[in-house]
Amino acid sequence: MLSLAAVSAGYGSMRALFDVSLEVPAGEAVGVIGPNGAGKTTLMRVISGLIPLRGGAITLEGRSVGGLAAHRMVEQGIAHVPENRRLFPRLTVEDNLRIGAFIPQARAYFAEQLDRIYALFPRLKERRDQPAGTLSGGEQQMCAIGRALMSRPKLLLMDEPSAGLAPLVVAQVFEFVHRIRAEGLTVLIVEQNVQQVLDVVDRAYLLEVGCIKLSGTAAELKGNDFIRKSYMGL
């Protein structure tokens, strides 16, 4: 569904990604793991159009989408759950979900999609009229995922969904990923929490200092000595 060919990107004179190529087949969940500063967030930001594409190509279902502005990417079917959730703190939960359905093709299904999100995350329904800033970390992550799903995407990008959450809540967040996959969505997830992310994805890539170092199925990577030593502490 999504394919990146030799993508490079950066900020100012600094390059953060060097010729990154990866494939996300439809219906699969793919992980990108790697240390802090490896370029994982940059990768997410270049796919969703928040930062410009410096080189290479991004194709979604065969169409070239590289270099489109972020709001056009949403129209193409890519939704991005940003790092640290980035909810609109003074808007209510329901207003956060409403803004997720901003694009015209999603507005028409707003009520229907809202019901689906509330069925997926009943806690959000209980808190619908509360400012999003007053939610707990786990609830905020539900709301951020729900907000992204409101645009009825084909592909969901998740940037460090477990960051800054208590261990118990982290387990819950990975359970959300399971639920989303069960809905038939394609997911690209970036995580530092290697052990747990390899339990929910089909395949994964290892990104180090802006380059893909390794790739394989989740089982292969779990068995890889380098990954076990450097990232799983085994």
Partner 1 sequence: MDIYLLEAIVNGILLGGVLALLALGLNLIFGVIDVVWIAYADIVMCGMYVVYWLHDFGWPLPLACAATIVALAAFGALIHLLIIEPILGSAPINQLLATGGLLFFLQSFATLLFGTDFLNIGVRLPIIEFGGIYISFARLLAFALALVGAVALYFFLRRTFIGTAIRAIAQDRDIIGLMGVDQRRIYIITSMIGGALAGLAACLLVLQYDVHPFIGNTFGPLIFMICVLGGLGDMIGGFIAAFVISQIISIGGYYSNTELSYVLAFTFFIVLMFVRPRGIFAR
Which residues make up the interface to partner 1 (CB under 8 A)? 48-50, 69-71, 74-75, 79-80, 82, 86, 88-91, 95-96, 98-103, 106-107, 147-148, 151
Backbone angles phi, psi at 175, to 5 degrees: -70, -35
Looking at the Cβ atoms of 118 and 231, the one nearer to partner 1 is: 118
Looking at the Cβ atoms of 132 and 177, the one nearer to partner 1 is: 132
Looking at the Cβ atoms of 29 and 101, the one nearer to partner 1 is: 101
Min CB(221)–partner 1 separation in Å = 29
Looking at the Cβ atoms of 93 and 194, the one nearer to partner 1 is: 93
Min CB(152)–partner 1 separation in Å = 11
Min CB(146)–partner 1 separation in Å = 13
Tell me which amino acid residue 61 is: E
Min CB(218)–partner 1 separation in Å = 27
Min CB(200)–partner 1 separation in Å = 22
Distance CA 82, CA 88 (A): 12
Distance CA 105, CA 84 (A): 27
Min CB(163)–partner 1 separation in Å = 15
Write out the two tokens for 54: 């410096």
CA atoms 133, 136, 139, 145: torsion sign: positive
Of 77, 66, 83, nearest in space to 21 by CA: 66
Distance CA 12, CA 52 (A): 11
Min CB(135)–partner 1 separation in Å = 15
Looking at the Cβ atoms of 50 and 211, the one nearer to partner 1 is: 50
| Burial of 129 (C-beta count, 10 Å sphere; 0-12/13-18/19+) | exposed
Structural Rg of the chain based on CA atoms: 17
- Cβ atoms within 10 Å, residue 135: 22
Distance CA 129, CA 95 (A): 8
Query: How far is C-alpha 56 from the chain's CA centre?
Result: 21
Looking at the Cβ atoms of 108 and 219, the one nearer to partner 1 is: 108
Looking at the Cβ atoms of 149 and 221, the one nearer to partner 1 is: 149
